Amino acid sequence: MNYLIILDDGHGIAPITPGKRTPIFPDGSVLYENDFNSEVVALMYKKLKRIPNVDVAFTAEENYDVPLNTRIARANRAWQEHQNYFGKENSKCILISVHANAYGDGKTFNNAKGVSTFCCSSPPAERVLAETIHKHLKQGTTQIDRGVQEVCFDILRGNMTSCLVECAFMTNLEEANLLKTEEFRQECADEIVAGILEYFGINQEEKKEVETDSEVRYKRYSDSIHELRGNVKDLVVEVVDKRIWDITEYTNCVNGTFYMLQGNGKTHPTSILYQNGITYQSVADHYKHFETPQSVYIIYKNNTVDMKRIKN
């Protein structure tokens, strides 16, 4: 079985989503919710990418608050492409949306606190996922348990089983201080991932990375120098220095065509799927936190396509 985990870090940072911040701390600082959300998602990815047969997709690669309809469309597209590649009968998918809760006027700290998980009321798998994730969150963190609540937020209305976690209240001074700590962020990430593994029935020992001849390794030397290493037939090393978004074709992959995507002054190997003059997948598997793709398509000149796992 192949698994797709879609991660959604709620809201945005540039510009700040209105209201999605703590009240002012005694030292005059504030914490923006997406600072917490995005860091937990990044930590989850670092754990999930080590698990065989697990792929990860993101709803919001940008720093700004990506509209909910765009997030849902991206999630649905990623899920459909995963099924197209592995086969519907060999694919399972969930979406996890990470948030920090809030209560009151947003200007003053108050007593509302605790951890909660939200899901739609149907189908039953929604509740099962939410309860499994929540069980681990409440055991691993210090918050009071606010339980699993059936509220069908827009982000949960995609084509896959989904839940939304509210890890703590950013309008509670004690919990807002927790949200700032690396220890709490790591704990939240660890517990959510533990819930994902239990939900899918993935054994803990499957976390071990397995070296195989078919794997491709990625290394970033600088903003303009990226390298893929793997089998001789898949070897590609390129230096690119461009200043605009551009998909560039390289043919030094023996018997195949390889693509790199450049944007915002940085160049990334990508997973553009291109055959017979038609682009089937135009979204690259690289992410704002990690500057590295998770998988790459090698498109051979005989029009066959091979997807390789990538390791840092």
**What's the confidence (pLDDT) of residue 114?**
97
Bridge partners (DSSP) listed for residue 2: 91
Q: What pLDDT, on a 0 to 100 scale, did the predictor assign at position 64?
A: 81
* Annotated domain spans of the chain: 2-206, 216-311
The hierarchical CATH code for the domain 2-206 is 3.40.630.40
- Residues 218 and 293: beta-carbon distance below 8 Å: yes
List helix spans (H) across 5-140. 33-48, 68-86, 124-140
Helix (H) / strand (E) containing 238: strand 236-239
Rounded to 5°, angle at Cα 79 from 37 and 67: 45
pLDDT of 298 reads 52
- Mean pLDDT, consecutive 10-residue segments, the chain of 312 residues? 94 77 94 92 89 89 85 93 90 97 94 97 94 95 93 96 98 96 95 97 60 42 40 33 34 42 44 42 38 48 51 39
Q: Report pTM.
A: 0.69
What phi and psi, each to the nearest 5 degrees, are found at residue 279? -90, 115
191-196-201-205 Cα dihedral, nearest 10 degrees: -60
User: Residue 141: its pLDDT value, please?
Assistant: 86
pLDDT of 173 reads: 97
Per-residue pLDDT, 203? 83
At residue 113, the pLDDT reads 97
